[in-house]
């Protein structure tokens, strides 16, 4: 930590903002229990991941992770307060303690894991960055985009990957960078930009739900980066990190073990010792995490297992119609692999 004279000056000028946030380092679980609900940072409205409906009820893959964690702690998936954040607000919100868990299409990268002081729970969605173009432009590949104007949100890995890709392929582009997602998408639909780039799931979500005319847009085949989306917590609180991590693993393991939202009560009567341990019939794991022994039962009752959540929010049962692909279980060729719950 270099604390030159300039550093001291900078900190003096802006130090007031940090005075209030002492003490939230360890003890997030206690703070959440005291508050009575989980403060969950979500997006401002990405269909399939975290979006409010007309009555203000939030749903999506990320929302389900938050509900599962809340159910594991409190027994009910409704004890969550959703705080929407733009791509630029999300990290200060987590760093300052305003939210306990950030489930917001956030890519797991080295710099975020180290410099920002975050820890990442297991990946809930393996994604890649893609390009969306109007079909009438007649472009078939990302290599034909030299000189294009690209709409992108600021403060994202998307922005950096875009610059890297065009540099690597010796192409130039002009960027239109707007932080409000609605304004950005309006600029793309109006034709101000030729290309819209974000994670392929975000493109599918926009095309299906917000573009107004899905047939007029096509996603180009190239995926120019790896974007593993994972829930994020602050460093320095291992117990909280473990709770979030193992809740996610629980959802994945439930699918692998055949436990669904409908049959979880029945599965408690199973003879399989592994399932008895997971569902708390054989006590022990809840206590190790600092939670109720029914933590996994409550989580699955709230949102179902990972496969059910996927299909409901972004899969065949949703407007996005995404295939499982990399997000399938390891037994079926995908990357979803829960660590042993024992």
Partner 1 sequence: MVAEDPRVGGGRTPGRAAFWNDRDVRAVLYQVLLVLGIGAVAWYLIHNTLANLAARNIATGFGFLGRESGFPIGESLIAYTPANTYLRALLVGLLNTLKVASIGVVLATIWGTLLGVARLSSNWLIRQLASWYVEALRNTPLLLQLFLWYAILQGLPAVRQAFNPLPGIYLSQKGLVFPVIALEPVHAVMAALFVVGIGLSWWWAGRAKAHQNATGQIRPVLLPSLGLIVGLPVIAWLIAGAPFEPDVPVLRGFNFQGGAAISPEFTALLFGLVVYTASYIAEIVRAGIQAVPRGQSEAARALGLPAGRILRLIVLPQALRVIVPPMTSQYLNLTKNSTLAVAIGFPDILSTINTSINQTGQPIECIAIVMVVFLIVSLSISAFMNWYNARIRLIER
Query: Is 101 or 300 the residue whose CB approaches partner 1 more closely?
Result: 101
Place of tokens 């995908």: 334
- 260 touches 304 (CB < 8 A): yes
- The number of helices, as runs of H, and strands, as runs of E, in the chain is 14, 13
Specify the pairing of strand 173-177 against strand 226-229: unpaired
| Angle, helix 238-257 to helix 295-303, in steps of 10 degrees | 60
Binding segment for partner 1 (CB under 8 A), chosen from 12-20, 53-61, 297-305, 314-322, is: 12-20
Residue 238 CB, nearest distance to partner 1 (Å)? 13
Q: Which of 236, 283, 317, 319 binds partner 1 (CB under 8 A)?
A: 236
Q: Classify 276 as helix, strand or coil.
A: helix
# of chain residues touching partner 1 (CB under 8 A): 65
Element (H, E) at 325: none
Determine if 110 is a binding residue for partner 1 (CB under 8 A): no
Query: Is 93 or 267 the residue whose CB approaches partner 1 more closely?
Result: 93
Nearest CA to 126 out of 342, 328, 340 is that of 328
Query: Is 139 or 329 the residue whose CB approaches partner 1 more closely?
Result: 139
Binding segment for partner 1 (CB under 8 A), chosen from 13-21, 53-61, 216-224, 285-293, is: 13-21
Return the residues of window 22-51 that contact partner 1 according to CB under 8 A.
22, 25
Specify the pairing of strand 232-234 against strand 118-120: antiparallel
Determine if 154 is a binding residue for partner 1 (CB under 8 A): yes
Side-chain-side CA neighbours of residue 150 (13 Å): 26
Residue 292 CB, nearest distance to partner 1 (Å)? 29
Sign of the torsion angle spanned by Cα atoms 260, 263, 264, 268:
negative
Q: Which of 44, 76, 235, 270 binds partner 1 (CB under 8 A)?
A: 235
- The rounded distance, in Å, linking the Cα atoms of 94 and 116 is 10
Return the residues of window 90-109 that contact partner 1 according to CB under 8 A.
91-92, 95
Nearest CA to 279 out of 72, 77, 123 is that of 72
Q: x/- contact string, 127-146, with partner 1 (CB under 8 A)?
A: ------------------xx
Binding segment for partner 1 (CB under 8 A), chosen from 17-25, 200-208, 251-259, 324-332, is: 17-25
Chain positions contacting partner 1, by CB under 8 A:
1-4, 6-19, 21-22, 25, 87-88, 91-92, 95, 111-112, 114-117, 145-149, 154-156, 159-160, 162-164, 167, 173-180, 183-184, 186-187, 190-192, 194, 234-236
């Amino acid at each position: 930590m270099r604390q030159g004279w300039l550093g001291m000056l900078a900190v003096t000028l802006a130090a007031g903002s940090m005075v209030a946030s002492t003490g939230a380092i360890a003890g997030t679980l206690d703070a959440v229990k005291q508050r009575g609900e989980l403060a969950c940072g979500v997006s401002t409205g990405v269909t399939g991941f975290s979006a409010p409906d007309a009555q203000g009820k939030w749903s999506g893959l990320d929302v389900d992770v938050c509900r599962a964690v809340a159910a594991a702690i409190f027994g009910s998936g409704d004890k969550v307060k959703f705080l929407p954040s733009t791509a630029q607000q999300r990290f200060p919100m987590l760093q300052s303690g305003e939210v306990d868990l950030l489930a917001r299409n956030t890519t797991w990268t080295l710099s975020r894991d180290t410099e920002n002081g975050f820890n990442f729970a297991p990946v809930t969605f393996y994604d890649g960055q893609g390009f969306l173009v109007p079909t009438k432009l007649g472009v078939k590949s990302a290599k034909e985009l030299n000189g294009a104007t690209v709409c992108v949100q600021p403060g994202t890995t998307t922005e950096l990957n875009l610059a890297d890709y065009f540099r690597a392929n010796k192409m130039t582009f002009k960027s239109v960078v707007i932080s409000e997602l609605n304004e950005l998408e309006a600029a793309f639909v109006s034709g101000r930009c030729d290309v819209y780039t974000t994670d392929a799931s975000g493109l599918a979500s926009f095309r299906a739900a917000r573009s107004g005319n899905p047939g007029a847009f096509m996603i180009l085949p190239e995926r120019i980066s790896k974007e593993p989306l994972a829930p994020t917590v602050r460093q320095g609180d291992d117990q909280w990190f473990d709770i979030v991590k193992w809740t996610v693993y629980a959802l994945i393991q439930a699918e692998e073990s055949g436990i669904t939202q409908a049959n979880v009560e029945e599965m408690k009567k199973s003879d399989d010792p592994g399932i008895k341990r997971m569902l708390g019939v054989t006590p022990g794991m809840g206590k190790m995490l600092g939670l109720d022994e029914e933590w996994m039962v409550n989580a699955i009752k709230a949102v179902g297992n990972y496969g059910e959540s996927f299909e409901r929010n972004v899969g065949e049962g949703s407007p996005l119609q995404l295939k499982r692909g990399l997000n399938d279980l390891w037994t079926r060729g995908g990357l979803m692999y829960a660590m042993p719950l024992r």
